[in-house]
Structure 1
Amino acid sequence: MLFSRRWLLAPALLVLPLLLVVANEYATARPSRRTQDVAYVPATDPAFDAERHVLDVYAPRQKAAAPYPVVVFIHGGSWNSGNKNFYSFVGRRLAKQGVVAVVINYRLSPKVEVPAMADDCARAVVWATEHIREYGGNPQRLFVMGHSAGGGLAALLAADNRLFERRGLSQNPIKGAILDDPAGLDMLDYLTKLEYPHDEQYLIPYGKQPAVWKDVSALYHVTAAAPPFLVFIGGETYPSIRNSSRKLEQKLITLGHPPLFTVLPGKKHAPMVLQLYWKDNVIYQELLKMVR
C-alpha cells in the first residue's frame, strides 16, 4: 500500500516544481511588455529573411521620468543554430530591472557566413537607434550582450566601427559590451591551428580565407577608443574560450582600457547562459552598474 501511495504522489511531486517555474515566469513577465517579431530589415530588401531578420523588444511597463537604457542581446549556437525565442527569460529579467531589452535573430550558417551575421547584428542595432524611443528606451545608452557565438559578435560590434559606417552611421552607437563566455574572439588563431577535435566544422560559417577569419575577430579591432567591456567566463569552459578571452583582456589592458574580467568557478560553457535566468546573478549586477 505504501508503494502504491508513493506512485500516486509522484505526479504531484513532479507538477509542483513546474507550477513554481510557471508562477515565477508569470511574476517576471508582469512588469514587462513584449513586442514580438519586429522586422529590423525592410521586407523590400533583397536579402530579407522573414524568420531571421526579426527581433523582440521587452520594455518595462512602468513609465519612467527618463528613457531606459537599452541592451541588445545576441544568442549563441555555433553560428549555425539558436533562436531569440529561447531567450525570453533574458528579455524579461532585464525589463524587470529597468532596461529595455532587444533580443534578436540573425541569419545562420550554412545560408550565410559570419560577415553577413555581423552585418545583420549591426542592422539590428541601427534599428534600435532609430526606433527604441518608441518603447521607452534611450538610443544614447545602448549596449550589446551575447553568449558564446553571440558574445563574439557582440564584441565585434563594439570594436569594429566599420560595421556601422557601412550602414550610414558616422559613429559607433554602442556604449559598452557584456560578453558571456564569448566564442570567436580570435578565429584567425583558432582556425589556423585546428588543434581541437571537429574544428573543421567552423570552416563552414567562417570560410577558408585567413583574412576573413581575422576581419571578423574582435581581438584585431579593439582600440583605446572602444567602449567598456564586461567579460565573464566559466571556470570550466572550453580552453579556446578561456585563452581568447584572456588575450582580449590583455590587449585591452595594454591599451590602457582594462575590462572587468570575472571567472565563475565551476561553470561550463552552456550553463554560463543559464546564469542569466537568475536576476540577482553577478552578470546582471555588473551589467546594471554599467548601463545605469
Structure 2
Amino acid sequence: MPADHRAAIDNLPELATWLEGQYDLRGRHPEREPLYAEYAARSARFRDSSSWSCLRYAAPERCTIDWFPPPGGSGAVPLLVFLHGGFWRAGDKRVFSFLAEPFVAEGVAVALIGYELAPAVSVTRIAEQVAEAVAWLVKEAGRLGFDPSRITLSGHSAGGHLSALLSAAPPAGFGVPRFHGVMPISGIFRLAPMLLTSINHAARITPEEAVALSPALKAEFHGRRYHVLAGAGETEEFVSQTREFGAMMEVACPGSTTALVPGRHHFDIFQDLADPASPVFREALSLVSQAA
C-alpha cells in the first residue's frame, strides 16, 4: 500500500470527527425547529388560500407531486420543480409549499416532488423516483399547461444533490432535449464524505453509490444554465462543495453563476428565496422565466 494511502487511513478517525461536525446541521443550528415550524405554518396558510392539487406519479405513498399552477395562467408557462432535503432520510415537501407562493404570483407553475426515504429505500432508488416524477410531469405537460422546454430543477441539501444529479442524466429519458435551468441550493455534490458520518447509518450509501451518484464526478450536464447557491454562513464543507460545483458549471454551461448568500445559513436561506423583494428570489425568477 502506498505511504500516502496509509497516512490517509491513519487519519480517518480525525477526519470522521471533523466531517461529523460539518454535517451535523441540526446540532449546529438549534433554531432549525422553530424556523421549520414557521415554514410549515406559512405553507398550510398558502395551501388553504390557493388552488393546488396532489398528483400521484408512482404507487408508494410518498410518491406524489404537490402541483401549484399560476392563477389565471393561460398557455404553456414555465415550471419550477423543487425537491426537499433531509439527507435522503427525512423531510416533507409540504413544509415548503410557501416557496411556491411568490413564483405562482409571477406566472410560474411549481411542482414539489415527494419521494421515499432511506433506509426503506436506497439513495439510488430515491434518485430513480425523482427521475420518474420529472418524466411523468413532462408526459403530462399538455394537460397541466406548462412548457416542457422551460423546466427548472431545484432543491435544497439532499434535494440540491438530486436536482444536480438529474441534470447529468441523459435528457432523452425525460422527453426533453435539456433542462431550461438548474438551481441547487446548499447541495451535496460529492457523496464520499457521507460514508464517514452518522448520516450514513440511515442513508446507507455504499462506496459504489458515492461515486455513481456524485454530480461533481459526472462528465456531462444538460442544463442550459445553472445557478448554484448556498448561505455564506454554511459549514466549510457545504461552502467548498458549492464553490467547486459552481465553478464546474460556469465552465461547462456558460452563463451559469455561483452565489453565497450573505447572512444566511443552511436553514434560513429560504427566507430570501420566498421574498419577492430579495435579490435571491429575483435571480431565481430570472433563471426560471427568461426566454429559452
Give the counterpart letter for 2:70 in structure 1: P
2:56 aligned with 1:39: yes
Question: Is 1:74–1:154's contact at 8 Å kept on the other side of the alignment?
Answer: yes
Identify which of 58, 70, 73 aligns with 1:63. Answer: 73
- How many residues align structurally? 249
- Determine the C-alpha separation between the residues in 1 that align with 2:216 and 2:109: 28
- Determine the C-alpha separation between the residues in 1 that align with 2:176 and 2:204: 27
1:108-119 to structure 2, matched below 5 A, reads: 108-119=117-128
Residue 160 of structure 1 aligns with which residue?
Answer: 169
- Determine the C-alpha separation between the residues in 1 that align with 2:145 and 2:174: 22
Structure 1, residues 232-279: CA drift from partner, whole Å, max 9, x if none? 111110221111111112223444636211111121111113333323
2:91 aligned with 1:82: yes
- Determine the C-alpha separation between the residues in 1 that align with 2:174 and 2:266: 34
- Does the residue aligned with 1:150 lie in a helix, a strand or coil? helix
Identify which of 169, 190, 199 aligns with 1:186. Answer: 190
- Determine the C-alpha separation between the residues in 2 that align with 1:284 and 1:234: 14
Shift of residue 201 of structure 1? 2.4
Structure 1, residues 16-49: CA drift from partner, whole Å, max 9, x if none? xx9xx97x956x975x52112x1111xxxxxx31
- Determine the C-alpha separation between the residues in 2 that align with 1:221 and 1:243: 18
Residue 131 of structure 1 aligns with which residue?
Answer: 140
- Does the residue aligned with 1:185 lie in a helix, a strand or coil? coil
Residue 100 of structure 2 aligns with which residue?
Answer: 91
Question: Is 1:100–1:135's contact at 8 Å kept on the other side of the alignment?
Answer: no
Residue 289 of structure 1 aligns with which residue?
Answer: 286
Shift of residue 132 of structure 1? 2.9
- Does the residue aligned with 2:85 lie in a helix, a strand or coil? coil
Give the counterpart letter for 1:33 in structure 2: S
Give the counterpart letter for 2:200 in structure 1: Y
Larger % of strand: which?
A: 1
The answer to which structure, 1 or 2, has the higher relative contact order (CA under 8 A, 6+ apart) is: 2
Give the counterpart letter for 2:91 in structure 1: G
Cα pair distance change 1:202/1:95, threshold 3 Å: same
Structure 1, residues 132-166: CA drift from partner, whole Å, max 9, x if none? 332321112111110111011101111222xx66x
Residue 115 of structure 2 aligns with which residue?
Answer: 106
Residue 202 of structure 1 aligns with which residue?
Answer: 200
Identify which of 233, 258, 267 aligns with 1:270. Answer: 267
Residue 14 of structure 2 aligns with which residue?
Answer: none
- Determine the C-alpha separation between the residues in 1 that align with 2:165 and 2:120: 21
Cα pair distance change 1:224/1:268, threshold 3 Å: closer
Residue 9 of structure 2 aligns with which residue?
Answer: none
- Does the residue aligned with 1:179 lie in a helix, a strand or coil? strand
Moved more, 70-79 or 199-208: 199-208
| TM-score for the superposition, normalised by structure 2 | 0.77
Q: Runs of 5+ in structure 1 lacking a partner?
A: 1-17, 42-47
Q: Runs of 5+ in structure 2 lacking a partner?
A: 1-37
